[in-house]
Structure 1
Amino acid sequence: MPEPRSFGQQLRDYRHQRQLTQAALAEEVGCAVESIRKMEANRQRPSRSLAARLATILHLSSEQSQLFCAQARMVGTAEAKQTSTPSGLPLTASKLINRQSEVATLHQYLNAEHIRMITLTGPGGVGKTRLALQIAQQSPKYFPDGVYFVDLAQATSVADLGLALSQALNLPSSKYSWQRQMQLHFQHARILLILDNLEQLLSATAVLRWLLDHTTGLKLLLTSRALLHCAGEYALPLAPLRLPTTSATLSELKTNPAVQLFVQRAQTLNPQFSLTSANAEAIKHICWQVDGLPLALELAAARTRLLTPEALLAYLQPPLALLTTNDPTAPARHQSMHNAIKWGYQQISPQQQQLLRQLAIFQAGCTLDAIQAIVPNQSQLELLDQLARLIDHSLLTMQAEPEQPQRFRMLSLIQEFAAQQLHDHGELNTLAQRHLEYYVMYCESLSEQVLEQRQALLAERENIRAAINWAISTQNWSAASACIVPLAEFWYRYGASEELQTWLDWLSAQQLTPTMHARCSEMQGYIAAFLQSQYRAGQAWYQQALAQRQALQQPAAIAENMAKLGEITMEQGYYAQALEHYRNACNLYEQLGDQEAVFAMHDCQAMVLVRQGQLKLAQQLLQQSLAYWQQQHILPSLAFSLNYLGMIALYQTNFTEAQAAHEQALAIWRSLDDQRGIASALNALTPVLVQQEQLSAALAAIKASLQIRWNLHDYDGLAWNLERFAELLSRQGQAELAIQAWSKAQQLRAELAVPLFEAEQQRLQPTIANCKQQLGSAQWQQIWFDSQSLGLANLIETLLAQV
């Protein structure tokens, strides 16, 4: 029995019956001669519409036409399998990593009848082409008439687009009739057309829309750094790979997509390369340094042939110059990250290029207010429009968080490129000065409660740091001091304490105004006494500041320094001196008519009186202050008074009243997110709960307080925590661990010169005596002595692990 004829044989036989050459048939059908040759050789299948047109021109009967068209589209034949392979796909050198969500979304879009145009957007090197290739490889079963991949990197006009499509689809190579040819051949065909690198052909939007309007089964998957803003366009922004967290463990790093891609690429060059505990930290920082961009990760990984990850990280400071390749097969725009970013930069207007350069002056993003203050000669509407264009071109992003102003930011590699352009265009000095002036104004506008605005300050930290460094480099002492001194506590907690100390030492040596010198002394004293618990050093700085303010005859500042000296001397156990300082400060505030400060000094005197055991007098002062704070709704001071009233109630063994006061104070401090206040209330609440046998609640409270103070490096507070923890442990029958905590607390107090006051010693005495009796004097002394050499961090880790 003869074998059935293939589609190619049928086409050739029918053509011969009509006495047509391949060229004549191609001319009548309106396709390329090469297409006829490939179809007759079973190397290409026609679309449904083209098969139907062939049947008409070949004068086939109705039955012949039906069989002919069915054979043309037959699934399962060798030629069908061959021609169903996507056309024009370049090779992929790496496995697609962590794009499952995007792949699923694209398949959902491609399977939706109403979605015809999808645009993959994102910055250069983010992996748009690689994702499109993955989709192309997975899509033939959904597009029986073909999946075609067209690289448009070299196309610069609509005519070039037509030529590229004509070649990919085997249409006649005419620049001017390709739209009509596509309509003719693919009007009812189900094909997926992947157009790669469309960002320089945004003018082709109307043509693409025309194609969709004049076909029924065509779908477009576009890759572009910019949106087309075309009716019916569905955008899928592609973000860099997820970066590892700062605390990521080795096992977590092994599953992180950015790390996986770096290691995978390194292993293609060196099969022995692996992620280890020795190089994990360096690889993590490399991923951060290159923003998690796949191209940048691959270019960085290629350097591991020569450099270890640790050495590579050192060279990536800054990274742009090192992120290159010598691969001759790579597109020019992908042979370096500089080229990849430059490609996108060249696609925007000169005005947008200038704005991008100007935005490079900002570090870690900025607000719209900051842009409007620094970028000159643009109306608000013009500026908004230009920002929108930069976002459209994937050169800028906008981020919005609850209760915070929206921020605009660039990837760090784009920022490095733009900053170099800013320098090369001679615009740096002017912009840096405007940047400094804005952030001086910003810092001066902050209220004294700086830490209450820490979220905003954390967002602006790098900008303020850059402003300080520019002020130092230009010897602008007043501007530098305006950004450093009012924010000293913020810099200490959320910057780098060594950096702050360097700044303050530098400022102290400059020719500042007498008032600013006094302010620097106060900040030095505040850091030493209240952030580092170095009370003696802090006392010396505040005494110097007091003398400076007295020479300047500034009574409010004199009173403030007296109050600080009162607190410092109180912590060191010099209660008479502390009362004198507080009373002198109170008198000055009364003369100034500052009622709020007067009541604050009453609270401070009450602190000293509690330590002296004068509980009733302290209680009277606190209750007077409490009424004022409630009336004026001054929450931080209200919480302070409540917490000390709770402490007095504890010493009076009125535990129910003490618990209520501490819990009210805790609720207020939590509402203010005041971490020091929260830690203080939880610490004070612990013995109250212990006395009422609420041991689980006491454990939770003291652990939370201990964790906060450990994070804040509050060693004075830690001594209190250790003593309260020991009290709880003793009640739980853990005598040995309790002794360790008491011993370490005493050691801390000795080092800091902050003795435990008598009322608290008397309260703890029965508990300590009971614990000593349980173990015996000899064992007690041995544990106490051994605990002196125990590391504080180890002890705190043990305590925080208690359950």
Structure 2
Amino acid sequence: MSDLRAFRDAVREHRRAVGRSQQQLARSIGLHPDVLSHKLHGRDNAVLTMPDVIGIAITLASWGALVTRADVHALLGLMEVPPHAIPDTAWSASPLAALRAGDGDAAAAKAGLRPAAHAQRGLPADEPAAQRLRVTPAPLPAPTTPLIGRERERAEVAAAVAASRLVTLTGAGGTGKTRLALQVARDLAGDFADGAAFVDLAAVREPALLATTMARALGLAPASAEMAEAYLAEALQHRELLLVVDNVEHLLDEIQLLARMLAVAPAVRLLATSRIPLRLYGEHSIRVPPLHLPAHGSAATAAADSEAVQLFIVRAQAVRSEFAPDADELGVVSEICAALDGLPLAIELAAARIRLYSPRALLPLLRSRLALLTGGPRDLPARQQTLRSTLDWSHALLAPEERQLFARLGVFAGPFDAAAAAAVSAEPDPASTLEHLAELADQSLLDITTGETPGFSMLQTVREYSLARLAETGEQDVVRRRHLAHYLTVADAAGQELDGPGQAQVLDRLEAAYPNMQAALDFAWHQAERDATCLGEGLRLAAALNLLWQRRGPLAEGVLQLDRLLALDDALQRPTPPQIRASAVLASCTLACFKGDYARTAELARHGIELCTPLGDHQGLARAQRFLGEVAIAVGDYAAAEPHFERELAEASQAGDVCWQADAYNMLGEVARHRGEFRRATFLLWQALKLFRAAGDPDRMSTMLGSLGEVARDAGRPVKARRLFGAALRRHAVLGDRRHMAYELEGFAAAAGLEHAGRQALTYLGAAQVLREETGGPLPPVEQAILDRILAPAVAALSVTERHDALGQGRNQPLATTIASALSQVPRLPDRLKAQTATGRADSTRNPVA
């Protein structure tokens, strides 16, 4: 009789002996960590399959945790898996071929010789490359203007990066540390197999979020903040990457994270920017100097060769194209640059004034202002006093309404548009706001990004100054409330559009605005004790972002934001209006379900029913019943699930909500599929598709095609399944809907498995795993069991090396490549299915996937 507990304990002992985690084990055998945990503990009807047990044994052998055949036999025996269940080809291949035969060797290993035996066999100490997390950093930020000068510094920093794994560029704000670091990263990216990546920490205010922010910048989406460092370590340990980490100085409490990353990732090099050294072991600190200034009284040619003068001229020509200083004016420009200590940001601010002043008129204005202001804070370094003075001077030259707008713009944590600026400034005339924004950009106080509509952003140094000015006015809370209200309006409007045809563009807009959404949620959280309205608006905003978190992740962040606001609402005992609380509770319920936290899902769904019943909120009741039913499906209790979906249908009909009626048919179809009632499942899913079409929701129409693909898959019809999964995948790839793309790629894996194409199946599965890691949403245990059962025969026919290679190909190649490969094998829907999809009609007497 198998002994699951003894097997679990043995596996834990073996992997701990070689310093491996259960998360690493899960990825090595192609399972989500939560799914492996369920299987090892027998929770929620999850079962360890024979391929799971064999995969665990082979992985432990590859790590050197099992060193003899007797070790493997003993582990398999705990689950009554006979040794001959492992194919001969696997026994004769690495790592099993290198196992010793005797029990004495096992005893010696247990006594502490396991690492030496591992080394003698020459097995790789690292996890197979196929199991790595895929690092997909965003491109380095494109420079809006060319870097002037800095040739010596570029060479010095590049040499330092070659010689040291941690290089920190230090200096006061405005010295150009970020521009220099990014230019060096562009120069050196080709020298690293995995290129260069950029992490901007300027907007991170909580040191505990350092690991999460770094993970996101690398294209990872850890399921929780606690798991972020583990994700980073695993993702980076085999990478050859130059990582630029910008604006570190305010996060020194967590800076040891960088040292830990360097310790586990030997081919990663860090290039950091900070106003002060990080004081980490092995750090090479380089102070970024001001730009080179001409000697006092230099000839015009020498002045023209000066980096500081060149920067002034280039920036001045950006606002006055005909600016071409003669020899006398070059001398004056040299004096201006000297007065500004050669600080690039200060020079850019001054050069922007050439549109109104000649250099000779500008110099006395600048000198008088600096003389007046150098009596400022005496604890600031001299150059930082100069920068602050230059900002003060530039600020003083703005018109009153421009100064007011500039101060208020500091609340933006990321890019913003003119409408957002008008909202926080309470400006009734958008055209006037746009004019003021253009003026601030002309004065180098804002950066402009081009696109369909112009966007704006601030350098961090300028934003800090702006926030200081806002604090002086005493209206920061008022402006932040406007900021929160504006992004709540944006999110609400997006929610209305997400059921229409332009969903991809709407999701793109929400993602672009997300840094500001986060800042608004943080303000709501911090302000809640003093202002109940802010808490209510924060709950509304978090609930409105539900679909963004669902479709693009990370699910864990949505749960965190919603649950912390709900917990605060409880603690304050100052109840938010029940409609608002109900919406937030059901949003958190949705995300918890997709995250695989079924106990929390059921708790929130029951609370949602308590809130919605007295309100007569039939749509809310439909949602709550839906997720109670999904919890029952997840654990295989179909008899308990069906009544919940029938109540969902009744409540949705009472509300007149076509989409929730369609969803109820969809979930009833799921129940029928799990019971093997494929004809009934098909009929119900086509009813759902018909209603989603009536509601004008092409996204969920595509989801229904994926559900029909699952019926075909479970009925053992891979060709039809692949065609239906392909139709769904095309749509969801356009939307960037990572959660559904994972389902559909798993569908392709199953179709390949049914055709005994094990390598192809594991390639699709590897890509799906990465998507699930990015969103933080595991495959439900009951679905995982179906997928395992389908794939087991095809995967068992492969050698361990073949499995690792195929899974690794899917995990590591670009997602677009995997999707294109899958779709290239699938003809588009036949005319009959196209017509039915377009009209939402299906012949209920025939199975469309037959």
Q: Which residue of 2 aligns with 1:571?
A: 634
Q: Which residue of 2 aligns with 1:352?
A: 402
Q: Which residue of 1 aligns with 2:84?
A: none
Q: Distance in 1 between matches of 2:406 and 2:387?
A: 17
Matched, 1:429 2:487: no
CA deviations 1:217-258 (Å, max 9, x no partner) are 999999643346779x9xxxxxxxxxxxxxxxxxxxxxxxxx
Q: Which residue of 2 aligns with 1:530?
A: 594
Relative to the length of structure 1, the TM-score reads 0.52
Counterpart amino acid of 1:602? Y
**Structure 1 pair 732/393, CA: closer, same or farther in 2 (3 Å)?**
same
Q: Distance in 2 between matches of 1:554 and 1:720?
A: 32
Matched, 1:504 2:566: yes
Q: Where in structure 2 are the equivalents of 1:150-299 lying within 5 Å?
A: 168=298, 192=304, 196=309, 224-225=348-349, 226-227=351-352
- CA RMSD of superposed structures (Å): 4.9
- Correspondent of 1:479 among 537, 541, 564: 537
Matched, 1:397 2:447: yes
CA deviations 1:479-511 (Å, max 9, x no partner) are 232223332565663847545422221123432
Once the two structures are overlaid, the 10-residue window that deviates more, 548-557 or 343-352, is 343-352
Q: Distance in 2 between matches of 1:666 and 1:447?
A: 23
Q: Which residue of 2 aligns with 1:623?
A: 686
SS at match of 1:398: strand
1:558 deviation in Å? 1.9
Q: Distance in 2 between matches of 1:99 and 1:380?
A: 47
Matched, 1:641 2:697: no
Aligned residues with identical type, % of pairs: 18
**Structure 1 pair 535/149, CA: closer, same or farther in 2 (3 Å)?**
closer
Radius of gyration: which is bigger? 1
Query: Contact (CA 8 Å) 1:398, 1:407: kept in 2 or not?
Result: yes
**Structure 1 pair 465/128, CA: closer, same or farther in 2 (3 Å)?**
closer
Q: Which residue of 1 aligns with 2:509?
A: 456
Query: Contact (CA 8 Å) 1:323, 1:337: kept in 2 or not?
Result: no
- Correspondent of 1:710 among 768, 773, 776: 773
Q: Which residue of 2 aligns with 1:240?
A: none
Q: Distance in 1 between matches of 2:624 and 2:302?
A: 81
CA deviations 1:771-791 (Å, max 9, x no partner) are xxxxxxxxxxxxxxxxxxxxx
Query: Contact (CA 8 Å) 1:489, 1:527: kept in 2 or not?
Result: no
Q: Distance in 1 between matches of 2:704 and 2:467?
A: 52
SS at match of 1:358: helix
Query: Contact (CA 8 Å) 1:321, 1:338: kept in 2 or not?
Result: no
Query: Contact (CA 8 Å) 1:642, 1:662: kept in 2 or not?
Result: yes
SS at match of 2:152: coil
Counterpart amino acid of 1:675? R
Counterpart amino acid of 2:587? M
1:375 deviation in Å? 1.6
Q: Distance in 1 between matches of 2:441 and 2:509?
A: 23
Query: Contact (CA 8 Å) 1:323, 1:336: kept in 2 or not?
Result: no
**Structure 1 pair 720/168, CA: closer, same or farther in 2 (3 Å)?**
same
1:681 deviation in Å? 1.1
Q: Distance in 1 between matches of 2:320 and 2:761?
A: 71
Q: Distance in 2 between matches of 1:190 and 1:93?
A: 17
**Structure 1 pair 338/454, CA: closer, same or farther in 2 (3 Å)?**
farther
SS at match of 1:510: coil
1:796 deviation in Å? 9.0
**Structure 1 pair 468/392, CA: closer, same or farther in 2 (3 Å)?**
same
Q: Distance in 1 between matches of 2:304 and 2:766?
A: 61
Counterpart amino acid of 1:503? L
Counterpart amino acid of 1:460? A
SS at match of 2:716: coil
Query: Contact (CA 8 Å) 1:555, 1:588: kept in 2 or not?
Result: yes
Counterpart amino acid of 2:517? I
Counterpart amino acid of 1:686? A
Q: Distance in 2 between matches of 1:696 and 1:735?
A: 8
SS at match of 1:573: coil
Query: Contact (CA 8 Å) 1:192, 1:218: kept in 2 or not?
Result: no
CA deviations 1:401-436 (Å, max 9, x no partner) are 5x6x53211111211111111112333233233323
Once the two structures are overlaid, the 10-residue window that deviates more, 692-701 or 221-230, is 221-230
**Structure 1 pair 570/801, CA: closer, same or farther in 2 (3 Å)?**
same
The number of aligned residues is 490
Query: Contact (CA 8 Å) 1:683, 1:720: kept in 2 or not?
Result: no
Q: Distance in 1 between matches of 2:179 and 2:385?
A: 15
Counterpart amino acid of 1:97? R
User: Larger relative contact order (C-alpha < 8 A, sep ≥ 6)?
Assistant: 2
1:801 deviation in Å? 7.5
Counterpart amino acid of 1:584? R
1:571 deviation in Å? 1.6
CA deviations 1:31-71 (Å, max 9, x no partner) are xxxxxxxxxxxxxxxxxxxxxxxxxxxxxxxxxxxxxxxxx
CA deviations 1:423-459 (Å, max 9, x no partner) are 1233323323332332333333331649964433333
Matched, 1:516 2:516: no
Query: Contact (CA 8 Å) 1:324, 1:337: kept in 2 or not?
Result: no
Counterpart amino acid of 2:575? Q
Query: Contact (CA 8 Å) 1:726, 1:737: kept in 2 or not?
Result: no
1:720 deviation in Å? 4.5
Counterpart amino acid of 2:593? A
Q: Distance in 2 between matches of 1:207 and 1:656?
A: 64
Matched, 1:674 2:745: no
Query: Contact (CA 8 Å) 2:658, 2:691: kept in 1 or not?
Result: no
Counterpart amino acid of 1:480? G
Q: Where in structure 2 are the equivalents of 1:541-690 lying within 5 Å?
A: 541-629=604-692, 634-690=697-753
Q: Distance in 2 between matches of 1:726 and 1:322?
A: 72
Counterpart amino acid of 1:444? D
Q: Distance in 2 between matches of 1:574 and 1:583?
A: 15
**Structure 1 pair 389/707, CA: closer, same or farther in 2 (3 Å)?**
same
Query: Contact (CA 8 Å) 1:705, 1:721: kept in 2 or not?
Result: no
1:206 deviation in Å? 11
1:97 deviation in Å? 1.7
Gaps of 5+ in 1: 1-91, 101-122, 131-147, 152-163, 170-185, 234-319, 326-331, 742-794
Query: Contact (CA 8 Å) 1:643, 1:665: kept in 2 or not?
Result: yes
Gaps of 5+ in 2: 1-148, 158-172, 181-291, 338-346, 359-375, 819-850
Relative to the length of structure 2, the TM-score reads 0.49
**Structure 1 pair 228/700, CA: closer, same or farther in 2 (3 Å)?**
same
Q: Distance in 2 between matches of 1:128 and 1:625?
A: 53
CA deviations 1:611-637 (Å, max 9, x no partner) are 112112112222343455457653222
Query: Contact (CA 8 Å) 2:483, 2:520: kept in 1 or not?
Result: yes
Matched, 1:362 2:425: no
**Structure 1 pair 445/648, CA: closer, same or farther in 2 (3 Å)?**
closer
Once the two structures are overlaid, the 10-residue window that deviates more, 388-397 or 593-602, is 593-602
Q: Which residue of 2 aligns with 1:466?
A: 519
**Structure 1 pair 724/575, CA: closer, same or farther in 2 (3 Å)?**
closer
**Structure 1 pair 535/227, CA: closer, same or farther in 2 (3 Å)?**
same
Q: Distance in 1 between matches of 2:455 and 2:494?
A: 19
Q: Distance in 2 between matches of 1:704 and 1:128?
A: 34
Query: Contact (CA 8 Å) 2:749, 2:764: kept in 1 or not?
Result: yes
CA deviations 1:514-553 (Å, max 9, x no partner) are 223323432343343232x121331122122113212222
